Structure 1
């Protein structure tokens, strides 16, 4: 099975930028990790993970002289945005949840399994970013940090095109009252991102809408939400929430990647 990444229309319209929100299809991993598992942190065979990542790098036309594969960092649900110019040492990955680059041929990306991947580009400036936005990163504005770092490299906010990739949908994202309270303590207006089936039901959080709001607040010129749920689409996506519900021992991670061609 060949790679069949999902593309955002707004990012696809730019010459000189290649990207893809990759599904779990087209790789070499097996079992729980079938088949395009790209997560170094999983218990999958690391050689298979490396081949999966190299396939994505080749698909997007990455420069082999820059290390091949896809540059991802040690994600920890924070807000650090890091400018990269080459593939880091895998044994000592920098800790950051957004990768920013203006190096042609260097494929950068983020790993997710329910969190929201955000790909961004200012094609005119040749500056790109990939951000990992779980609820912690979203509430603390990791996408705003990524936009600021892009701007430091010459991008302009109003020229940035951003796409929110596959992540857990509101209907699948049941949370506890303490989760909701964390958001409302930050800003009571955040109540609009929670809904209940009835007054006594547990709240459900709208992660993609919240991330979209953060992009709007950052002044990004174009935003697209792919509106695809990782938890509900088992054939296409890995999902930590689904793994937990099914009692599985581990889970794979999909990758979303972008490159200045």
Structure 2
């Protein structure tokens, strides 16, 4: 097995084994701090009770993001109140929804909205998802058939967005969004769902699925800390720029590196 050592490895640090997982939709939930720390750095208030579920509130108090793993079915709930021309809306994402996909939506909550008209299906088309228009609904399915995105409208006029992933072995999750959910948020979610980029999981946290592909990565604790801090710094910088002047473009985190072996 060929190994390559990072030049940045310092004395006294022990590399830890992680895995890059594809497709990301089947990578499992991940670390909720990926979301909470970004929102906190973006000026959101932590309303969580000690020992209780996560609860974050937007600076203008119009949106709440909560994660509760202690109830069934558990998972993420995002709720927006009535504001101006925006109706009340909510979204629920299952407990095993990868945090990197949830963050597609929650990160967008903390960023300035683009002036371009949102198109939920555009990120899926770019990744060659198959679209299946039917009576009352439109469904897009990933090329490997592990994930889907659907807009469904019932005969009574009730409409909703529905998405999810499954592998046929019991691993998976679903997500629901009310039709009133701002489309730019649904598009941000679909872009994160369709992204071909792998996500990282530590040893012991990779779901036992025959539908995933993994790459072993030896990573230093200082590298993990640096990547996490880069995401937080980017959130703070964007918040400062939004509040004081023109926006700046910053990359939220760097590509992972280390010793690679395939399995």
- Do Structure 1 and Structure 2 share a fold, with TM-score over 0.5? no
Q: Which has the higher contact order (CA 8 A, sep 6+)?
A: 2
In the superposition, the TM-score normalised over structure 2's length comes to: 0.29
Instruction: Tell me which structure has the larger Cα radius of gyration.
Output: 2
Q: TM-score, normalised by structure 1?
A: 0.29
Q: Which has the higher strand share?
A: 2
